[in-house]
Structures are given as structure tokens and as C-alpha cells.
Amino acid sequence: MLPEMAGVSVQRDGDERWLLIQLPPEQVWPKVVEFWQQNGILLQEQNPTVGVMRTAWLENLRNIGHDIVTDTLRSLLGGLYDPGTRDQYRVRLDRGTQPGTTELYLTHFGMEEQFATGTTGEGDVAVWVPTGRDPDLEAIMLRQIMVYLGESRERAERLLAAGVERGSERASLVTSDQGSSLLVDEPFSRAWRLVGLALDRVGFAVEDRDRSAGTYYVRYNDPAAQAKEEGWLSKLAFWSSDEVDTQQRYQVKVNSRGAQTGVTVHNEQGQRINTPTATRILTLLHEQLR
């Protein structure tokens, strides 16, 4: 029997979607954990202190037919039958702007197996390459969570119908004597949420956040660390440069500038940094925000 929970709605910002739940995070967290458990999905990460949970990589069977051959292979080979694609989901719970409410953000990560000639030239080597997020899969998983929390499937589908795409870029990467920064063409409250979503999708681990100070405390978390191999390339290969320390912690500061908002990168001690790493971080965020 599904647990009952009233007051689950879909919030929008352009093509971005998240859930607003009329309960505090302390009550929502165990329900979302139960959702994954009830569906037989293992959680690779659970951190209720910062409200983040991440699933293990899931075998993706979307591209495989359901004829008698593939169904037989599934039953005989089980986990050995590999379709060559994987999905992972990351959920972040945040306190809503209204007391006693929770905002639930979900991000999808995809991986696809590809083959490249080995360094010796004697055979193909399998490598896993990111395919990027799939908004359709995010909508499907959000719908499933809504239904589990007590919403009807029909209403969940209606609320999650595709939103209006943005017509123009809303962020720009600028450079000054102090270094690089992002200028977001949105007020602070909206920019704060958008930067949080961008951090999720780039693969940063948000270890803490202080909305009143406009600060995200982050550590880069390779979303495909377990599948990374020598020579593996991707546009999110943040670790590929020797100049980048993937274990370093940073502060991403979001500062109101009237009708706009600035985003800068600081070191663990809170000092603004002007390094290739800082520019790389801002560039990755810019790709998500524009």
C-alpha cells in the first residue's frame, strides 16, 4: 500500500522542474529512501546532513526489444546480460522558502559503453562515456516519486508536462581584474536555486550550504568515477588536467547585484581565487545555466 502524503506539487523555472512537498525534510527523507528500496534500487550514497542521496548505476533496458529472445536472455543471464547503457539518479532535498516545506531536486546521469582500440593496437577496450542528462527520464522518475508519495498518476503526468523553453541565455561568463565570474540575469532567490541545480548536474558534491550567506560549500565528485579508465574522454572531464585537484573543496558564492546575481569561486578559507580551476568551475556552471 502506498504511503499517503498530501501537498505534492511541481514547481517550474523555464524548462527546470522540481517538487514542492508540504512537509519538512526530516519527514520527506525517509519516504524517499523507502521509494528506492521498494523499487529494488540500491542507494550508493545517503547523506541526510546535506539532504543528498544517489543511486547505484542502473542497467538501462530502454533500447532493448521485449521479444522472446531478449526476454529469454534476461531470464537466463540476469545481471550478465549487459545492454551497454547505465543510468544514475541523484536527489537533493532542500528546505523550502515557506517553513515546513521541502524542495526535491532530481538529476539524471547517463553512461554508454563504447569501444576504442587499446594502446597496444591489439584489440578493443571498453570504456564508459557520459551521455548527459535526460530530462525525459528525470520527468519519469519524478512522476514515480509523486505517485509513491500519494499523488495520482494522471495528475502527476499533467503537472510534469513539458514546460516552455527559455528564449535567450540568462548567464554570461565575464572577466575583470579580480578574475572570472558568472553574471546571472535573475534575482538572487531564483539564481540561488539555479546554481544549486547546475552544481548537481555538473557533478559537484554539495557538502553544505548557507542561503543567508549565499554560499555553497562544494567538492567535485566525478559522476562516473567508478567507470573511469585511462584515456577516457568527455566534456565533463574535470579531472583531465593536472592543474585541477578533484579533492579540493571550494566555496561557490552567489551574490545579489540588484536585478542580477553574480557567482564567484573561492577557496576553502573563503578567499576568492583567480586560477584555471576557478575558470573551469565557472565554465561548467555556465554551460548548465545558459
Per-residue pLDDT tens digits for 81-121: 456 788 999 999 998 888 999 999 999 999 888 877 666 65
The per-residue pLDDT for 285 is: 92
Nearest to 265 by CA among 229, 225, 219, 228: 219
Q: What is the pTM of this model?
A: 0.72
CB atoms within 10 A of CB 88: 17
**Over 90: is that where the pLDDT of 72 sits?**
no
Taking CB atoms within 8 Å and a gap of at least 24, the contacts of 2-5 are: 2/147, 2/148, 2/150, 3/31, 3/34, 3/148, 3/149, 3/150, 4/150, 5/31, 5/149, 5/150
Given a cut of 70, whether residue 234 has pLDDT beyond it is: no
The span from the CA of 83 to the CA of 66, in Å, is: 13
Quote the pLDDT of residue 160.
84
- Max Cα-Cα span within the chain: 65
The whole-angstrom separation of Cα 89 and Cα 104 is 13
Cα 2 to the center of its chain, rounded Å: 26
Is it the case that residue 199 has pLDDT exceeding 60? yes
DSSP class of 272: B
What percent of the chain lies above the pLDDT cut of 90?
33
Q: Are strands 16-21 and 43-47 parallel, antiparallel or unpaired?
A: unpaired
Mean pLDDT in the chain? 79
Contact in structure between 113 and 37 (CB atoms under 8 Å): no
> Which residue type sits at 23?
L
CA distances from 87 to 110, 111, 138, 188, 255 (A): 5, 6, 11, 32, 34
Residues 257-286: what's their mean pLDDT? 91
Q: How many helices (H) and strands (E) does the chain have?
A: 6, 14
* pLDDT higher than 90, residue 22: yes
